Amino acid sequence: MSGTSPGPDGLPRCAWCTATAQYLRYHDTEWGFPVADDRHLFEKLCLESFQSGLSWRTILEKRENFRAAFAGFDFYQMAEFTEADITRLLADKGIIRHRGKIEAVINNAKRACALVAEAGSLARFLWGFAPSGAGAGQQAAKDLANALKKRGWAFIGPTTSYAFMQSMGLVNDHAPSCAIRPAVEQARAAFTKPA
């Protein structure tokens, strides 16, 4: 993530985000900013699983449809989904209708409930994998994927874990000269500062 391109305001942004206005908004207001809300963290894990093999733009365009279809990503509600819900979701043209991914996120909702019981919150568990040194993100993503797999999570490998870590602020992969990088660094510093 080293290159930048000028945004519509002339300021340098990560090159990937200047392709569409939707990417630009996501980049400037969400990508890399730290998140502690369990529902939001779970949503992102689910959406990253659905994104596998597709463009992130496809997921962004369908994000509100996913939220409606999956009970706002309330993992306690999703853990109660039945075969009838799977049938409903497979018929929903507003989302990615992939049986394996749908079944995986429902499974992961059940695993999320167990993880909250184990760790106190998803945030506490997931942020425990935030790398402390530069260049340690890939290993941290492997460790996170392995820890989730050990607990029965599905459809989350190292690539998905790393994309999750980038987007939720566990790492700051904004390009060094990206105009948004300092704001993300400031948000991360405030977020991780001891109480």
Catalytic residues: 26, 48, 56
Find tokens 């853990």 and name the residue: 79
| Contact call for residues 168 and 122 (beta carbons, < 8 A) | no
What token pair was written down for 109? 């909702």
What token pair was written down for 18? 């200047």
Q: Where are any strands of DSSP class E within the chain?
A: 4-6, 12-14
CA contacts within 13 A on the Cβ side of 137: 18
User: CA–CA separation, 146 vs 192, rounded Å?
Assistant: 24
Q: 5 phi and psi, to 5 degrees? A: -135, 150
**What element of type H or E holds 128?**
none
